[in-house]
Amino acid sequence: MPELPEVETVRRGLEPHLEGSVLQQVRCFRENLRKPFPDDFVTRLQGQRIGSVNRQAKFLLLGLSSGETLISHLGMSGKYRIFTSEPPALEKHDHVEWVTDKGVTIRYNDPRRFGLMDLIETTRLDDHPMLKGLGPEPNGNFFGPDYLKAALKGRGCTIKDALMNQKIVAGLGNIYVCEALYRAGISPKKKASTIKGERADRLAGAIREVINEAIESGGSSLKDYVQTNGEMGYFQHAFQVYGRAGEPCFGCRSPIRRIVQAGRSTFYCAKEQR
DNA sequence: CGGCAAACCTGCGAGC
DNA sequence: TGCTCGCAGGTTTGCC
């Protein structure tokens, strides 16, 4: 589920229920996700007031009154659900639960457990191994044609791999890279260093555009729910290439191809993407 | 350094 | 009905 637009949608869902609230009751139903929970996880969360609900790349960042920040990554299958009244029975793969002083229950559910939660002093946030070295936000001020051109210069990997690299741009994943490359008319197999000039301008614009449109649509829902209220995002209906192998390109009608790059599926139109 | 496969996990749909 | 296989939105690790 979660690339940047999905995580931003989750952030917007959580913020009104968490910002300014106190985590009155914290429960954790196992000792690890992809990695172990930090030491004294429950104790360090319990009783904390949440001052801010932020996002960086695909990470949610909850600023706590203790001076620590909770880092939450959703992996492939992580979901937050919010219950404003009496919550239902725990479900399979519910791993963490918070009850706020406003009587709101928030549960983190993650079947594949590729997600991650960690605590770090807020002043040392940028030193956290997962956040250190992250590139700029694709919809932020720092990202644009000039940045992208400089970042791709001399890169021997494919343009697909470059855009998947969180150190170059932070927050894109398989779906939005495929979609941005289609919009820019660039083949995912091109060497990154060959994308320059007007083509790089178009790519930078396409990335910003697709990310912003997806956020406005509440992200993309594939098998799982994305939004914290259980509603589907609807950007999946705007996919031009992702998941459309064999179906006709909306532009030229030639079949969309699926190839594997770095172990991940890439969808593209061989005719329109050069 | 680059490239690639495997690892971490469960669930689902397709095919037999 | 039930089995096996392949696949899935992410990231890290280890090997050549």
Contact in structure between A162 and A148 (CB atoms under 8 Å): no
Q: Which of A4, A1, A6 is nearest to A163 (CA)?
A: A4
pLDDT of residue A228: 78
CA A187 to C1' C7 (Å) is 23
Q: Which amino acid is at A17?
A: H
Strand partners for A22:
A49
Counts of helices then strands in chain A (DSSP H, E): 6, 10
Residue type, A95: H
| Greater model confidence, A237 or A141 | A141
C-alpha span between A197 and A262 (Å, rounded): 26
Q: Which nucleotide is nearest to A92 (CA to C1')?
A: B10
pLDDT tens, A82-103?
A: 999 999 999 999 999 999 999 9
- CB of A3 under 7 A from strand C? yes
Surface-to-core class of residue A53, CB atoms within 10 Å of its CB (0-12 exposed, 13-18 middle, 19+ buried): buried
- What average pLDDT score do residues A178-190 get? 96
The residues, ordered by sequence, that sit 6+ positions from A123 with a Cβ below 8 Å of its Cβ are A67
Instruction: Note the pLDDT of residue A230.
Output: 76
Q: Which strand B bases fall within 7 angstroms of a protein CB?
A: 2-12
Distance of CA A23 to the CA centre of its chain: 24
pLDDT of A127-164, one tens digit each?
999 999 999 999 999 999 999 999 999 999 999 999 99
Q: Are A27 and A42 in contact (CB under 8 A)?
A: yes
Cβ atoms A214, A206 nearer than 8 A: no
Q: What is the pLDDT of residues A1-51, one digit of tens each?
A: 589 999 999 999 999 999 999 999 999 999 999 999 999 999 999 999 999
CA A79 / C1′ B11 distance in Å: 15
